[in-house]
């Protein structure tokens, strides 16, 4: 994602603040599915998972952290 982010910021298409807002909205959307699980499914899978896990990482070949990682 970082090359696309950098290109759009440099072209003036995307502002870092708006990119953060998009990431925040996506994170909330990912958490909505939890409320669609039936009680039977919750019993089978030992409850409702009320959180999301995310692993974000990466560095350029020169060892610089990708800017897109700053949003998380």
Give the whole-angstrom CA distance, residue 36 versus residue 31: 11
Is residue 41 predicted with pLDDT exceeding 80? no
Q: In Å, what is the CA distance from 27 to each residue of 4, 23, 54?
A: 19, 6, 10
Q: What is the pLDDT of residue 71?
A: 66
Is residue 14 predicted with pLDDT exceeding 80? yes
Name the range with the highest mean pLDDT among 22-26, 40-44, 46-50: 22-26
């Amino acid at each position: 994602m970082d090359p696309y982010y950098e290109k759009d910021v440099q072209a003036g298409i995307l502002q870092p603040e708006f990119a953060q807002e998009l990431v925040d909205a996506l994170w909330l959307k990912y958490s909505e599915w939890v409320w669609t699980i039936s009680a039977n499914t919750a019993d089978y899978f030992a409850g409702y998972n009320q959180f999301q896990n995310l692993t974000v990482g990466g560095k350029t070949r020169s060892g610089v952290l990708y800017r897109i990682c700053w949003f998380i």
